[in-house]
Chains A and B, each alone.
Chain A
Amino acid sequence: MTIAAPDAPLLQVGTLTKTFGGFTALDNISVDIRKGERFGLIGPNGSGKTTLINCISGALKPQAGSVVFCGEDITQLSPHLRARRGIARSFQIPRPFKSMTVLENLMVGLDFAAAGSAAAEEEIAMSILTRMGLAAKAMAPSDTLSQVELRKMELARAMAVRPKLLISDEAMAGLSSSEVDEVLDLLISLGEEDITIIMIEHIMQAVMRFSERVMCLDAGKIIALGEPAEVMANKRVQEAYLGT
């Protein structure tokens, strides 16, 4: 076994099992995510997508299995320590720090996950906001944002953690098709900067355009993993989505 080889996976999820009472949300999930990869995660509602990323980001602790990030076993680490190691996420339903301005929302991540001087931090925060097209809203209270702005701010806040791995949990849910393209372009451009991205999404054309690999979950199990077109063509995937 080689440790930290150049092409070693950034994230290794090994035989992960998570149950809630008698319900098995994740059943023996193993997957490796390569460095710099754009990885799509799909599956019908309740298939375990969010549970999986909760286990990766630390919001939930699995009953069995391991999560290895950059060669380090992080299965038992709390979320803030994972954030400091470079795992950032957005939430399915945006969870802004609503008493803060947009800029302050980003400053939290810069303050706690990526230490630096205050002046430099503000500069970094502004440059992230500019990239996200939110610069004009920097001083706006975050509870005055529109839905698409909130989604972008969630991504911007995740970026403020200076992540190696960014997990986007349905960042496009509820957006119009032009807004979907806008957010998707952002994610793709982030992927070009050596940030590995896991994207959970229901909008198939977005998944197809974004992903280098796609994994489909159903009832806590992996039913397909591979190139997007291949996964879409998979009979079990179609059954899972459309029913038999």
Chain B
Amino acid sequence: MNKRSHSIAFWAGVAVFLVAVLSMTQIVRNEYPFFAGYVILQFIALAVAWTILGGYAGYVNFGTNAFFGVGVYTAVALFKATGAPLVVQIAAAAVVGMLLGFGVGLLTLRMRGIFFSIATIALAIIIETFVMNWRFVGGAAGIQLQRPPVMAPFDSYVKMLFFVQAILVVIAVGIARYIQNSRMGRGLQALRDDELAAECTGVPTLKLKLVACMISGALMSAVGAPAAMYLQYADPSSAFNLTYSVSALAMSLIGGTAHWIGPVLGAILLGSTQQFLAVTISSEVNVLVLGIMLVLFVVGAPKGIIGLLRPRYRLRAGGKQ
């Protein structure tokens, strides 16, 4: 297939996906599938966003929770202050996430590999501490939120959030796919392999890293924004939970980071397993299963699911030396 028919197939797939999601919200009465499905969609979008920096550029970001939490609290603060609608909350979260991404991007000037990763963890802790002491949004005790009335054609807020999250998935995948097929994708791949060689071959490495950080950050924060409305509650230790970082990273690596479909597959696999286990056994087993699967994949399929499916994507699964 050539590029053009690839594109047609892709956007047709997107259309089918959105129509399916929308009709599901109209047909299915039980709310539980949406409650669980929302989480899976959220992780798909997070993992795809993570891959833009962690996979394409090879800068392993452990601060997914920082971006997610910033998204949650941007939405909370905005909602409490102005009662802004969900769309505005998400857009504002994306802007704040992008600014935070710019800051993280500047870190890449001096830090690579494990040092960069540790710095992103520190960033998450700093922001969480700040929010814990911010009375307006409830501080460490958290804050209860009253959902506004749901908009037509949806009959429940969770169903609407499910659809919103599906749109965020489409946006994240669309952007990741665009980057992957563009000049920028090749530049990121080059700088991941060898930053100095890339720079000496004409790749503006700093600019590309900054753009990747900003896009990845904006998406992660946007994904976090509806979470407060989903739970009708927000508190710092769950909004900035390290599980988001570990999950996004594990899902991307298990799926494979060379292609946008990798994090999608990884998130579907891990996300649904987690949801299943949370119902059948306990939510604590999640983390154990995540760890075991990550180990199995690192040993057995270092290039992730897509590495197993298509040997052409022989790319290293993230991480710089």
Q: Which residue of A lies closest to B183 (CB)?
A: A111
CB within 8 Å for A157 and B186 given contacts A95-B196, A97-B194, A98-B193: no
List A contacts of B193 (CB < 8 A).
96-100
Which of B146-154, B201-209, B247-255 makes up part of the contact surface? Answer: B201-209
The binding surface of chain B is classed by DSSP as helix
- Assess whether B196 is in contact with A97, with CB atoms less than 8 Å apart: no
Report the bound CA distance from A99 to B303 in whole Å: 12
A88 to B186, CA, bound (A): 19
Q: What residues of chain A lie closer than 8 Å to B203, measured between beta carbons?
A: 80, 108, 112
B residues with CB within 8 A of A:
183, 186-187, 189-190, 192-194, 196-206, 258, 314-316
Known: A59-B196, A95-B194, A111-B183. A100 touches B201 (CB 8 A): no
A residues with CB within 8 A of B = 57-59, 78-80, 83-84, 88-89, 91, 95-100, 104, 107-109, 111-114, 141, 157-158, 160-161
- Asked whether A83 lies within 8 Å of B202 as measured between CB atoms, the reply is yes
Nearest residue in B to A89 (C-beta to C-beta)? Answer: B200
On whether A112 and B197 interact (CB within 8 A), knowing A80-B205, A99-B315, A100-B189, the answer reads no
CB-defined A-B contacts under 8 Å, sample of 11 = A59-B196, A78-B206, A80-B204, A83-B201, A88-B200, A96-B193, A99-B193, A107-B186, A108-B190, A112-B201, A158-B201
Q: Are the C-beta atoms of A109 and B199 separated by less than 8 Å? A: no
Please pick, from B197, B205, B206, the residue contacting A95 in the complex, using a CB distance under 8 A.
Answer: B197
Q: Which residues of A contact B316 (CB under 8 A)?
A: 99
From B189, B196, B202, B204, A99 is in contact (CB under 8 Å) with: B189
Quote the shortest CB–CB distance from B240 to chain A (angstroms): 33
Which residue of the partner chain A has the closest CB to B199?
Answer: A79
Q: A59-B196, A98-B193 are in contact. Are A108 and B314 (CB under 8 A)?
A: no
Chain A residues contacting B198 (CB-CB under 8 Å) are 97, 108
Say yes or no: A113 contacts B199, CB within 8 Å: no
Could you say which of A84, A95, A108, A158 contacts B186, with CB atoms under 8 Å apart? A108
Which residue in B187, B192, B205 is a CB contact (below 8 Å) of A111? B187
- Of all chain A residues, which has the CB nearest B3? A118
Q: Measured between alpha carbons, how far is A59 from B198 in the docked complex, in Å?
A: 11
Give complex CA distance A230, B202 in Å. 37
What chain B residues lie within 8 Å of A107 (beta carbons)? 186
Q: Report the nearest A residue to B258, measured CB to CB.
A: A99
Q: List, in ascending order, chain A residues with CB within 8 A of B189's CB.
A: 97, 99-100
Q: Which residues of B have CB within 8 Å of A99?
A: 189, 192-193, 258, 314-316
A112: B residues at CB distance < 8 A: 183, 187, 201-204
In the assembled complex, which residues on chain B have CB atoms less than 8 Å from the CB atom of A158?
201
With A99-B189, A111-B202, A112-B187 given, can you name 11 additional A-B contacts, CB distance below 8 Å? A57-B200, A79-B200, A83-B201, A89-B200, A98-B194, A100-B189, A107-B186, A108-B190, A108-B198, A109-B201, A158-B201
